[in-house]
Structure 1
Amino acid sequence: MNGSRTKSVILWAFVGAALLMLSAPTVVVLGASFTAGNIITFPPEGLSLKWYGAIAQASGLKQAFGRSLIVAAICTLVAIPVGTLAGLALAKYRVRFARSIQIYLLLPFTIPLIGSGIGMMLVFGRLGALGQLWPVGIACCVINLPFMIWAVTASASNLSPDLELAAANCGAPPLQRFLYITLPAVLPGVITGSLLMFILALNEFLVSLLLVDARSVTLPVQIYNSIRSIITPDLAAISVVFIACAALAIALLDRLVGLDIFLKSK
């Protein structure tokens, strides 16, 4: 009995330590964003919303945030058809070199991001597309596409082949079977992967830094350029906006799919 209680205490101690380490940076940034002073401090020097007002009035930040939204939208729109079809192919069909393809999907996590970014820069530089936003969206999609494929594959693994077979026996053409049977079955994975792709592209920094120029910087690059000179509380306020976007995506994911299904897809 005492041994079981000791194990429980140790387990909850580790859980509490992990939660503390994960939440501490967010709490510090959140508190620093409400400071009434002119420098980032924690605990904050009084409470004020002036730094949120400052970023609301900063045209450069708003334009950079708009560019980040465009990049995230391009990434997501490209990832949905590509990732959905690739995930279905890996889950439903006997694809030649399927094991090699699955290993290849791990490359974005084994190759340093700076290497992938430089490769993208050389490719789009040859095309004369550097400084535009669509190459950044494509590059973010290429790097993060495994998340989309894995989410769809997890949903497709629960799809019974008997449903499609029954529809085929009833005379339903392939497109109709896909739209009315396959796609609804994998829709939780599509939604999960889409939200992940959007958030990852919205926060992408290194690839954006290599592919944009001074006229088309995204918000992460704008923040980096700002902290090279001085770190002010308005940067903490921007970070809170990013955290709020991620929290909104999680809430939307829970509403549309359910976090339990999302966690199973991982």
Structure 2
Amino acid sequence: MISRSQRIVIWGLVWIALIALSAPTLVVIGASFTSGDIITFPPDGFSLKWYDRVARAGELRAAFFRSLWVATICTLVAMPVGTLAGIALSRYRLRFGNVVQVYLLLPFTIPLIGSGIGLMLVFGAWGALGNLWPIGVACAVINLPFIIWSVSSSAALLDPDLELAAANCGAGRVQTFFAVTLPAVMPGVITGSLLMFILAMNEFLVSLLLVDARTMTLPVQIYNSIRSIITPDLAAVSVVFIAVAAAAIALLDRLVGLEIFLKSK
């Protein structure tokens, strides 16, 4: 039984954590509505002029759509690869399975700058730099463990008797996969895919090494802008990013439920 003093301490720590996590977001949102010409918080009046300026800014708008396209490519690449790898690692006894599991940790042990330089050299040797698809593929490579772990969590809950029952009814392996296995792991697939989309939208360091003036994504565009001066329109762009992430989370909650996402972590 938790005492009253322990409950106060626990809830105090929870509120401190919530305030620390949400304060930067609230500051950015507030600053984006300022009527002044510099970023201030509390905002100097209330105005939507910076959102109007962002909507009219051709470079920012183009960079935003390029980021959307990169995130889409990343998701399309990672979805089949991560799904099959997650099912294989969870459902089957693979030779060198432990080695594969350790290998999946490499994106978290190798600094992103190292991964970015390696990918830049590879795509440069192929003559692919200057296109958007290498950026999407790079984002898929460095974030692939997330969707693999998400699918593996769902696959671990799959009752093997269901696949055996389908086989006994005459279904082949491919038919069993699409009729039984894939629907069972679909919550993990959706969770991992949305997470890959969000991560690719916000990827900066690897993108910085792969883009040029024709393929500049929005995080890189923002970085180039703040090197000279930070204006409220950049705060408005950041709010757009926050809105996209919030929409993805709302979609995730509607499709599979946030509790499944939390269990997959």
- TM-score tier by shorter-chain length is over 0.9
One-letter amino acid of the counterpart of residue 32, structure 1: A
How far off is 1:175 after superposition? 1.2
RMSD: 0.9
One-letter amino acid of the counterpart of residue 208, structure 1: S
CA distance in 2, matches of 1:133, 1:156: 33
Please name the residue that 1:225 is paired with.
Answer: 224
One-letter amino acid of the counterpart of residue 207, structure 1: V
Any gaps of 5 or more consecutive residues in structure 2?
none
One-letter amino acid of the counterpart of residue 70, structure 1: W
Please name the residue that 1:97 is paired with.
Answer: 96
1:202-244: per-residue Cα shift (whole Å, max 9, x none)?
A: 1111111100101110000100110011000000000000001
Please name the residue that 1:57 is paired with.
Answer: 56
CA distance in 1, matches of 2:21, 2:197: 22
Please name the residue that 1:32 is paired with.
Answer: 31
Please name the residue that 1:80 is paired with.
Answer: 79
Any gaps of 5 or more consecutive residues in structure 1?
none
CA distance in 2, matches of 1:187, 1:118: 34
How far off is 1:99 after superposition? 1.0
Paired-residue identity, %: 74
1:5-63: per-residue Cα shift (whole Å, max 9, x none)?
A: 11111101100100000000001000000000000000000000000000000011111
Secondary structure of 2:45's counterpart equals coil
Please name the residue that 1:162 is paired with.
Answer: 161
Please name the residue that 2:254 is paired with.
Answer: 255
TM-score normalized with structure 1 length:
0.98
Please name the residue that 2:110 is paired with.
Answer: 111
1:111-157: per-residue Cα shift (whole Å, max 9, x none)?
A: 11101000100111111111210000000000000000000000000
Please name the residue that 2:46 is paired with.
Answer: 47
Secondary structure of 1:229's counterpart equals coil
Please name the residue that 1:241 is paired with.
Answer: 240
Matched, 1:206 2:205: yes
The structure 1 segments of at least 4 consecutive aligned residues displaced by more than 6 Å after TM superposition are: none
How far off is 1:173 after superposition? 1.1
With 29-38 and 125-134 compared, the bigger mean Cα shift is at 125-134
One-letter amino acid of the counterpart of residue 234, structure 1: D
How far off is 1:97 after superposition? 1.1
Please name the residue that 2:179 is paired with.
Answer: 180
